[in-house]
Amino acid sequence: MRNFDFKNPTKIIFGKNQIENLSKEIPKNATILLLYGGGSIKKNGVYEEVIAALDGYNVEEFGGIPANPEYTVLMNALTVIKEKKITFLLAVGGGSVIDGVKFLSAAALYDGDEPWDILANRIRIFEGMPFGTVLTLPATGSEMNSGSVITRAATKEKLPMGGPGLFPAFSILDPQVIKSIPTRQLANGLADAFTHVLEQYITYPADALLQDRFAEGILQTLIEVAPKIMKDTSDYAAASNFMWSCTMALNGLIQKGVPSDWAIHMMGHELTALFGIDHARTLAIIAKSHYTYNFESKKEKLAQYAQRVWGVAEETIDESAKKGIEKTIEFFQTLGIKTKLSDYTDDYKGTASIIAERFEKRGMTALGERGNITPNDVKKIVEMSY
């Protein structure tokens, strides 16, 4: 096992009706900016619950943060933060709203001219404006990590940012919010969380027995709850396990002491930036080719995954590992997720070269857990995903 530090300061408040405890977490004298997305919280009752819980506070609002949070929209929110002298940000939404708020937390204290530089120059954030979250969509783990991904439509870019200053102060996780989530977003949440675990687990053996079993436990739980939650979003047992699995998949715990990959995400973000494909679906597009292309260096963990998570009984490592890839793709497909780029766009030719060139330009020349995936490899992997 590798050496590691681990600190996760986010307080999780989990369970039925926990939104009513919101006021216990925010200083009484705070001027709050409540931020949300396209309006789902106004249809499912979450908005009313939040407003009731914030009775007595000075609250301003900013709605309209789109899926794949857009820089220009966030810049309008930044103006509100400055004009209204906001001191506390409250994200009520899924990964997009939470990521947008993380960017704003950083931008509110940033003294450069152009906040996009935080993303373009990969500035690590050690201090931000304090913020909390009320999660409405289990998927990204953003509610308990310090990362964020921001989109800029004008340049078709989607770039990550983060740093130890960007953990939420608290996150409220009430699994009852899942009731109103559309099937497409449920499938996305399951596939995204599943791939988060794979990115931290399908690497190479590192004598990290407990981390492997944490990872396998999350994968098995997601597989178990997937059909239940897809069938009935008011199944509280399934909803609560789904929600907690998504948080645990990307709150930093399972990646401690082990190598991690994240190349699928890096390539996937480009597909969202170029074609607007939902984040989770981009991962499903890239996964098979990534694992097939890097088969030799990943086959031991792929075989372990196939045997322990899917119970396959193939005799050789190669056979088991191949089954592991097949089972993964089948899982995405059972969620109704298509796994080829050409399923989403007719305009896919040339995509691999564009992405490889972008990576070259940004200096992203050593991806994967071994740092040996070059832009040329990226080109081949994306081509295999057409």
Chain residues in the site for Zn ion (CB under 5 A):
192
Judged by CB under 6 A, the chain residues 32 through 61 that form the site for ligand NZQ are 37-41, 44
Site string for ligand NZQ, 312-351 (x = CB under 6 A): ----------------------------------------
* CB contact burial 49-68 (16+ within 10 A = b; e otherwise): bbeebbeebebeebbebebb
Contact partner, 37, from ligand NZQ, Zn ion, none, Cβ < 5-8 Å per class: ligand NZQ
Contact partner, 371, from Zn ion, ligand NZQ, none, Cβ < 5-8 Å per class: none
| Closest of 128, 166, 130 to residue 148, by C-alpha | 166
- The C-alpha atoms of residue 219 and residue 330 are separated, in whole angstroms, by 14
- The C-alpha atoms of residue 267 and residue 355 are separated, in whole angstroms, by 7
Q: Residue 192's Cα: distance from chain center in Å?
A: 6
User: Does 247 interact with ligand NZQ (rule: CB under 6 A)?
Assistant: no
Q: Which is nearer to ligand NZQ, 139 or 302 (CB)?
A: 139
Residue 28: count of CB within 10 angstroms of its CB? 7
Smallest distance, ligand NZQ to C-beta of residue 266, A: 10
Query: Site for ligand NZQ (CB under 6 A): which residue of 33, 95, 134, 157?
Result: 95
Q: Which is nearer to Zn ion, 18 or 385 (CB)?
A: 385
Query: Site for ligand NZQ (CB under 6 A): which residue of 152, 256, 279, 299?
Result: 279
Q: Which tokens belong to 11?
A: 């307080």
Angle ∠(274,339,329) on CA atoms, nearest 5: 140
Q: Which is nearer to ligand NZQ, 93 or 324 (CB)?
A: 93
User: Does 99 interact with ligand NZQ (rule: CB under 6 A)?
Assistant: yes
Angle ∠(364,293,215) on CA atoms, nearest 5: 80
User: Does 161 interact with ligand NZQ (rule: CB under 6 A)?
Assistant: no
Smallest distance, ligand NZQ to C-beta of residue 42, A: 8
Q: Which is nearer to ligand NZQ, 158 or 301 (CB)?
A: 158
User: Does 185 interact with ligand NZQ (rule: CB under 6 A)?
Assistant: yes
107 near 113, Cβ under 8 Å? no
Q: Which is nearer to Zn ion, 179 or 338 (CB)?
A: 338
- The C-alpha atoms of residue 142 and residue 120 are separated, in whole angstroms, by 20
Judged on CB neighbours under 10 Å (0-12, 13-18, 19+), 85 is: exposed
- The C-alpha atoms of residue 133 and residue 35 are separated, in whole angstroms, by 9
Query: Site for ligand NZQ (CB under 6 A): which residue of 104, 149, 312, 337?
Result: 149
Smallest distance, ligand NZQ to C-beta of residue 44, A: 5
- The C-alpha atoms of residue 382 and residue 153 are separated, in whole angstroms, by 22
Q: Report the SS3 class of residue 244.
A: helix
Judged by CB under 6 A, the chain residues 119 through 148 that form the site for ligand NZQ are 136-137, 139-142, 145, 147-148
* CB contact burial 346-367 (16+ within 10 A = b; e otherwise): eebeebbeebbebbeeeebeeb
Q: Which is nearer to ligand NZQ, 69 or 259 (CB)?
A: 69
Q: Which is nearer to ligand NZQ, 181 or 356 (CB)?
A: 181
Given the rule CB under 6 A, which residues bind ligand NZQ? 37-41, 44, 67-68, 93-97, 99, 136-137, 139-142, 145, 147-149, 177, 180-181, 185, 188, 192, 250, 265, 279
